[in-house]
Homo-oligomer: A and B are copies of this chain.
Amino acid sequence: MYNPLLLPDLRVMLEENDTESLTEFCNVLHPAVAAEVLDGLPSEDILKVLSTCEIGIRVEIFEYMDLPQQVDIVELMGREELSALIEEMSPDDRVDLLNRLDEAHVESLLPLIAQAERSDIRKLLSYPEDSAGAIMTTEYASLPQDITVGEAIQRLRQQAPNRETIYYVYILGDDRRLDGLVSLRELILASPDARLTDIMRRDVISVRVETDQEEVAQELARFNFIAIPVVDKQHRLVGIVTHDDVLDIVQEEATEDAYRLGAVEPMEDSYLESPLTEITWKRGVWLMFLAGVALMTAQVLQQYEEMSQAQKWMILFLPLVLASGGNAGSQSATLVIRALALESLTRRENVRMSVRELLIGLSLGGGLALIGLIAAVTWFDLDWSHAIVVGVTVLLVVVMGTVSGAMLPLMFKKLGMDPALMSNPLIAALVDVLGVVIYFSVARAVL
Contacts A290-B327, A320-B298, A323-B432 given: A254-B250 contact, CB under 8 Å? Answer: yes
Contact with A262, one of B156, B335, B342 (Cβ below 8 angstroms):
B335
The answer for the CA separation of A326 and B432 in the assembled complex, in Å, is 13
Contacts A221-B251, A302-B380 given: A291-B323 contact, CB under 8 Å? Answer: yes
Task: Point out the residues of chain B lying under 8 angstroms from A30, CB to CB.
Answer: 203, 205, 223
Task: Point out the residues of chain B lying under 8 angstroms from A317, CB to CB.
Answer: 298
Q: Is the interface of A mostly helix, strand, loop or mixed?
A: helix
The answer for the CA separation of A153 and B250 in the assembled complex, in Å, is 35
A315 touches B323 (CB 8 A): no
B372 touches A327 (CB 8 A): no
A288 interface residue, CB < 8 Å from B? yes
B222 touches A32 (CB 8 A): yes
Task: Point out the residues of chain B lying under 8 angstroms from A334, CB to CB.
Answer: 258-259, 261-264
A441 interface residue, CB < 8 Å from B? no
Task: Point out the residues of chain B lying under 8 angstroms from A333, CB to CB.
Answer: 262
A371 touches B291 (CB 8 A): yes
Q: Per-position contact with B for A256-290: 1 when CB-CB < 8 Å, else 0?
A: 01110111100000111000100110011011101
State how many residues of chain A have any CB contact under 8 Å with chain B. 111
Q: Per-position contact with B for A314-351: 1 when CB-CB < 8 Å, else 0?
A: 01111110111011101101111111011110100100
A188 touches B166 (CB 8 A): yes
A119 interface residue, CB < 8 Å from B? no
Question: Which residue on chain B has the smallest CB distance to residue A28?
Answer: B203
Q: Per-position contact with B for A178-220: 1 when CB-CB < 8 Å, else 0?
A: 0000001100110000000000000101000000000000001
B379 touches A324 (CB 8 A): no
Q: What is the CB-to-nearest-CB distance from A20 to chain B, in angstroms, rounded to a whole number?
A: 20
The answer for the CA separation of A156 and B398 in the assembled complex, in Å, is 60
A133 interface residue, CB < 8 Å from B? no
A367 interface residue, CB < 8 Å from B? yes
Task: Point out the residues of chain B lying under 8 angstroms from A226, CB to CB.
Answer: 167, 226, 243
The answer for the CA separation of A403 and B258 in the assembled complex, in Å, is 19
The answer for the CA separation of A186 and B297 in the assembled complex, in Å, is 66
A309 interface residue, CB < 8 Å from B? yes
Q: What is the CB-to-nearest-CB distance from A359 to chain B, in angstroms, rounded to a whole number?
A: 6
Q: What is the CB-to-nearest-CB distance from A334 to chain B, in angstroms, rounded to a whole number?
A: 3
* Best-surrounded residue of A224, A250, A257, A308 (most CB of chain B within 10 A): A224
A188 touches B153 (CB 8 A): yes
The answer for the CA separation of A284 and B365 in the assembled complex, in Å, is 9
Q: What is the CB-to-nearest-CB distance from A428 to chain B, in angstroms, rounded to a whole number?
A: 8
Contacts A157-B189, A244-B224 given: A294-B320 contact, CB under 8 Å? Answer: yes
A311 interface residue, CB < 8 Å from B? no
The answer for the CA separation of A259 and B259 in the assembled complex, in Å, is 13
B261 touches A356 (CB 8 A): no
Contacts A1-B346, A250-B247, A287-B324 given: A167-B188 contact, CB under 8 Å? Answer: no
A379 touches B315 (CB 8 A): no
* Best-surrounded residue of A246, A264, A305 (most CB of chain B within 10 A): A264
A98 interface residue, CB < 8 Å from B? no
Contacts A264-B335, A327-B286 given: A298-B380 contact, CB under 8 Å? Answer: yes
A375 interface residue, CB < 8 Å from B? yes
Task: Point out the residues of chain B lying under 8 angstroms from A161, CB to CB.
Answer: 189
The 10 closest A-B pairs by CB, nearest first: A262-B334, A254-B254, A224-B244, A294-B320, A297-B319, A298-B316, A294-B323, A294-B319, A271-B339, A243-B243
**28 A-B pairs (CB sep. < 8 Å):** A30-B205, A166-B188, A220-B247, A221-B248, A226-B226, A243-B243, A246-B247, A247-B250, A254-B254, A254-B257, A254-B258, A259-B334, A261-B334, A276-B356, A276-B360, A279-B335, A279-B356, A283-B364, A286-B331, A287-B364, A288-B371, A291-B372, A293-B323, A295-B379, A298-B316, A298-B380, A308-B315, A330-B425
